[in-house]
Amino acid sequence: MKLWALGDLHLPSERNKPMAIFGDAWDGHPEKIAARWRERVGAEDTVLLPGDFSWAMRLREARPDFEWLAALPAARKIMLEGNHDYWWTSRARMAQAAGPGVEFLHAGALSVPPFVIAGTRLWELPAPDGTAEENAER
């Protein structure tokens, strides 16, 4: 088993938002990512998807992106919420939308032997001048 991590996919969703607006290298990026994924990731592997999976604003809009993900190999696909994942709702709703083989990690941990994957919100470290102190209380 190999453990892979791939974040910031920004899949186009039902909204069909293309990444090509950021340059020609982004043209058809979901197809390029899927091709490389199939070349490298085996059926027994685990893939972490640490945020910014889809441009969807609502869970139903992410349906084509979950279909894209379902077509790719991996024993486990573990998703964490990113700052652009506005579609993120309850685990039960997301699990139903994503289908089998996709797990959602939020404020907890999952065992992926020999690893443990933890998901939490990260804050700034306190700065010598005290500028990060206001976030420390949260």
- For residue range 41-64, what is the model confidence (pLDDT) as tens digits? 999 999 999 999 999 999 999 999
Q: What is the pTM of this model?
A: 0.84
Mean pLDDT, the chain, rounded, equals: 88
The span from the CA of 96 to the CA of 42, in Å, is 24
The span from the CA of 32 to the CA of 28, in Å, is 6
Percent of the chain with pLDDT over 90: 66
The residues, ordered by sequence, that sit 6+ positions from 132 with a Cβ below 8 Å of its Cβ are: 123, 124, 125, 126
Cβ neighbours, 10 Å, residue 95: 13
